[in-house]
Amino acid sequence: MKIAVYGASGYQGGLVLAELARRGVEPVAAGRDAARLEKAGAPWRVAAAGDHEGLVSAFAGCDAVVNCAGPFTVTGAAVVRAAIAAGCHYVDTSGEQLHVKQVFDTFATQAREAGVSVLPAATDGCVPVDLLARLLADRLGPLAGIVTVHAVTGGGMSRGSLRSVAETIDAIRAGGLIYSGGDWRPGGAARGEVRLPGRAETTAVAAFPVPEVVTIPRHVPVRYVAGMTEAALGGAAEQPAHPRDDRQSAGRARRGDPPRPALHLCAGRHGCGRAAGPRRRAGGATPTARRR
C-alpha cells in the first residue's frame, strides 16, 4: 500500500509520516515547498493546492491521500477533487465545519462514481463523538437532540491550526451551524453553562462550529444537533496570535504534549435543551458519554 501525505512538511503531516513508517506503509510526502519536503525523510512530490494537474500527478499510483494542509476551507476542496481524479481514497485532519459540509455537499456523488471513500475530519475531535452518537441512537432509537461540548487542556496549537482559526474566525464568532428540522442553518452565538464530568463547578460554554454537527445527522436519526466549547477557549481563538506564541505552542506540541480533548455528549429522545445544552435533561432519558 502507498499513501500520499499532503502537507507532509507540517506538524500533523510529520506525525502521519511517522505512523505510516511504524506500520510499514510506503509513504509519499507531498506539498508545495520542495526544500521542506526534502527533509521529510520519504519520497516526495511537489504540487501546489491550486494546481489540479500537479496534484493528480503527485497522487498518481497511491492508494489513499491523507490531507494535513490547512486552512482546509480555502484549499481542501482542490485536494479532494484531485484525490478522486487520481482514484485515491481521501481522509483529512480538518476541524473546519464549513469545509466538512462542502466536502459532503460537493463530492459525495463524484466519490461514489469513482469507487473511492472520502472522509473529512478524521480526528479525535470528531470521530469519537460521532461514533458515540451512533451508539446512543442504536440503543435509544431516534433522538430529539444531541449537544456536544468540547474542552481542551494542555499543549497548544500548531502554526497550521492557527492559520485555520484565522481563516474561519467569522464562523467562530457567529457560532457555526446547527442541524434542525432536516437541514443545517446558522445557529447564532448561543451561550450557557454545563456541568462537565470531573469538575465541581459549572463551565461557561458557547456555540462553536464543530464538525460533528455536519457528520452526525448523515447517519444518525436525530432532529437537532449543536456543538459548543468552553467559552474561554472560543474567546482565545479570537485573539491574534503573536508569531512567538505560535512557535511556543507548536514547540510544546512537538515535545509530546498535544492538546487533550475532553468530549461531553448529551443525547435524548426528549431533547437536551438549546443554549445550555447538556445541563438540561429531560425525564432521565439523556445519558452522557465522555472521552479523554
Give percent helix, percent strand, percent coil of the chain, each to the nearest 5. Answer: 40, 25, 35
Nearest CA-CA partner of 42 in 70, 62, 56 = 62
Q: The pTM is what?
A: 0.80
pLDDT band at residue 270 using 50, 70 and 90 as cut-offs: low
Mean pLDDT of 273-280: 38
Mean pLDDT of 248-253: 42
The x, y and z cell numbers of residue 240, run together, are 491574534
Query: Could you write out the DSSP letters of every residue in 204-251?
Result: EEEE---THHHHGGGTS-BSEEEEEEEHHHHHHHTSPPPHHHHHHHHH
User: What are the tens digits of pLDDT across the range 145-185?
Assistant: 999 998 877 656 666 666 677 677 778 888 999 999 999 99
Nearest CA-CA partner of 131 in 238, 289, 292, 12 = 289
